[in-house]
Amino acid sequence: MIVTREKLEIKRSEWDCYTDTPDVVIEQLNKEFLEILSTTHSPVWAQKRFYEFVDLNGYNQYGFLDSECNQAATDIINKYYNSNISRWDFLSIIL
């Protein structure tokens, strides 16, 4: 796993998404996730934006809204922001 301000490289096994997810899907999601991270100043807002993005763009068909991928996304967010949010913290924005 590579998580820096300039690069996000997360492998299929690290995402824990469906094993038949095409490489191009993972590469595109990594690219879009880095864009979300780099244009958001709060880890909780980044988490909310990521979940919405995955849902609205059909990545959920590859398991990216399953609990394992939600935890992976949260781990990536925590590494990027040096934070310690849980995978449920985005709910504080919704409520």
Q: Which two tokens stand for residue 43?
A: 């880890």
* Per-residue model confidence as pLDDT tens digits over 82-94: 999 999 988 888 6
- Calculate what percentage of the chain has a pLDDT beyond 70: 98
First to last CA, the chain: 32
Give the residue from 93, 5, 9 showing the smallest Cα distance to 44: 93
Q: How far apart, in whole angstroms, are the C-alpha atoms of residue 10 and residue 61?
A: 18
| In the predicted structure, residue 95 carries a pLDDT above the cut 80 | no
**Residue in 53, 15, 89, 16 with CA at minimum distance from that of residue 81:** 89
